Chain A
Amino acid sequence: MKQCFYELRQPRTAALLRLIFAAAILLAIMIAGMACREQALATDFTRKNLAPCAEYLFGTDWMGRDMLTRTLSGLSLSIRIGVVTAAVSAVVALAAGVSAALLGRWADSALTWLIDLFMGIPHILLLVLISCACGRGFWGVTIGIVATHWMSLARLIRGEVMQLRQSGYVQVARKLGASPAAIAARHILPGVLPQFFTGLVLLFPHAILHEASVTFLGFGLTSEQPAVGVILSESMQYLATGRWWLALLPGLCLVAVVLLFELAGKSLAALWSVNAEQEAA
């Protein structure tokens, strides 16, 4: 199957199709999840602990909540947190990367030091710490993820900018007397945009998995929320009594969403690189 895609005569079209496919499903999950939030929160003790059946495809939990709407709603929440956090941390990364490369040696070493510092602390630990300090909940998790996910992209962009700075057209622009701001905006930013967008999309799966982990560990979203981390940690209590569906189906859905983002990111990267080739030619 994969082979077919690669052998398509127009790889650009194939990549675009894959991108649209992934984006459409993710968007559909996000909207569906928002639409069924009410049902996801509803408890009904007359239908508790049901195994997956025609009426409840994902079964129900100990309070009679429908696990399908709960999973959808949880994934939707994860995707939305992912959107916010990935966007914000990508912008932070872009600003940090560009200024590191353009503001001279002193700013560069300061920012590189900061990146190293943040990268030196175990991710999840820092995330738990920040989330707790910000009072947990939606904002705690969001701020925590933003603060812990910008470094690797920032480093990548910094390297890219460094390289671009040495390129001929930037040298010429500088000789012609263009201001650093103008060089950054007109000559360097367009050059790093492909890396930026690809990096942004590839931040999503990280953000989503970390949101789920930190919530699973009890330091993230509160337990009445339909979040994937909450669903997974609750299901742990019931595995011993054989309620496999509580963990398995939502867990698989989480993995599927992560893979979809991965697919979207890769397709996007492919699209950009083809573009670049054409421009070069």
Chain B
Amino acid sequence: MSFPFHRSWRHGAAALTLGLLSSAVYAQETFKIGIVSFLSGQAAESFGIPAVNGAKVLVEAFNKGQAPAPYNKVGIGGMPIEVIYVDEAGGATKQVQELRNLYERDKVDVVVGYVGSGDCLAVAPVAEELKKFLILYDCGTPRIFEDNSFRYVFRTAAHATMDNVALSRYLKARKVPVSSFNLINQDYAWGQDSRKDFILSMANLYPDAKPGVDQLPKFGAGQYGTEISALMSKPADLTHSSLWGGDLQAFILQAGPRGLFKKSQVVLSAGDHVLPGLGNKMPDGTILGARGAYGLMAPPSPLNTWWWDTYSKAYNVYPVQAPYRMAQALMGLKLAAEKAMAQNNGKKPSTEMLAASLRGSEWMSPAGKIRMALSNGQQAIQDTAIGRTKWSEEKKMVLLEDVQRFDAECVNPPLNVKSEDWLKSGFAGAKCK
């Protein structure tokens, strides 16, 4: 006789518990973000892990409401942010499947990710087809929005054309004499695009300068002895490189002792991220960029000071370009989502509303203002900066001196103009101070 009683009691308790749980769950509705970056492989150390580290400290600050205004609301519009991290390693096919998993299995509201240009090109059409919100935070190829039209896919960082335009403008502004230049870039989309952009930019600003030795080692080569010999056998005034990560570090460690940096002015389009690790092994006087006004070249502001201190305290190293780009993506997302929520009576916005809110928007990041100005408001432009390395014995770190910042309109193509066409037109429509 006691069994039915027990069963009904149990059912009642279970119903009560479920009711309490469901109300708790309702009260704790979260904003789910899938973050995809390299957690393993060759891009992890330089780009993936620093970016994910940046996301972790920033999301923690957002969830505690500890970020400076206008990012000081808890989570996103009061909803705690929940993050799922996914490894970008494994190739484009795997990433397409992982993206579907994030949207369909994990039910994320937004995916923020992708360092590899090949991955970006592969996943963007999938998100568009699914009508799901996707922010590309890092990859550089201009082709994503120049060859396609998207409504739900955004890139919150400038594309790679800016880097080499800024480098060549810096050389001109600083009156660096260049009658010839050599090149060493990786033999894949990033390296080849960078090489082409630099050659076209130099043709505008140094029409008499001729490209000489043109090396295209494979990605992850590690050994550059032969390439360095080739560069030194026909030394040019300038040596340009868009190498990054372990490849760049190995190149510097091998080329430095052989005197390449003394024989030729070396310019690195994306070299800032190797400075903390290399320390005094980084030759003085190297001209380099960071793919934005990031790290040591970031414009001073309370927001940048907060970001620098927060990241440095958490990881014992200052933030370089990758965490900065992640931060500007998450900050743009937070503001766009909160704006859309305000228009949706405080409720979580639909993908359509979120996209409308981010499209064409502007926000302040630690690296300055980000404007979704190109490709119908889906592609960002931003200011950038170039500087020259100098080891500080006192601070025991590499500093950047002679830093020059360039306005976004000076180094990015105008609206509806493809990068290559813009470079070939002699930077038509560029607005430089």
A pairs with B: no
